Amino acid sequence: MLDKIFPKVHDEGYKFLVIFGIATVILNFIHGFLGFIGLILTIWCYYFFRDPERISINDDNYLVSPADGTIIQVQETQGPKELNLEDKKFTKVGIFMNVFDCHVNRIPCDGKISEILYKPGKFLNASLDKASENNERNYYKITNAQGEDIIVVQIAGLIARRIISESIKDQTLKQGNRIGMIRFGSRVDVYYENYTTLVKVNQKTIAGETLIAKR
């Protein structure tokens, strides 16, 4: 029960908690109300960097959501040209994460990370379609047991300034395992083929748990 109210903090969050905590103490010396505002922001910082445990279905007939957030796009499209997949057809699901969502990202299925590619870019509003092509982003090409490519793309947003990858090339992961996080508001796109989409625009998702597609 307590772990739901006070989930563990991602390693990236500790330095920010220290900064926010020190700032709160200083603000409190200036004025009690400022200290209260600082305390609220420190609590927000704690929950932003929360890293709760998630229980995945552990069934490769399904893909689970790679991110907490809201579905903003479901469409048929070409694969990312950055991975030389522009000649293949995929279904693409875009998930927008606001600053109150958990920002830890997870792998949609069991598989091997066959390629990781980082692309520097702009910091446009992540909810815009062009963010998928223009913003700073990190690509994960995942090969599942059937030899199919599942692509997860971390996309930095208007506020986000750092994409964190916790995975390496040729690493084998289980469905729902952590692959990284993005700091402060962002988006994750997932590309897949040979699955039927189960989600729709404006639907809320939970990383590692919400089923987004089925064989």
Residues catalogued as catalytic: 186
Q: Which DSSP symbol is given to 125?
A: -
CB atoms within 10 A of CB 15: 10
- Contacts of 92 by beta carbon, 8 Å cutoff, 6+ apart: 73, 74, 75, 76, 77, 189, 190, 191
Residue 47, H or E segment:
helix 32-48
Q: Where are the alpha helices (DSSP H) in 108-164?
A: 131-134
Closest-CA residue to 174 (of 138, 211, 208): 208
Please choose, from the candidates 187, 91, 99, the residue with its C-alpha nearest in 3D space to the C-alpha of residue 138.
187
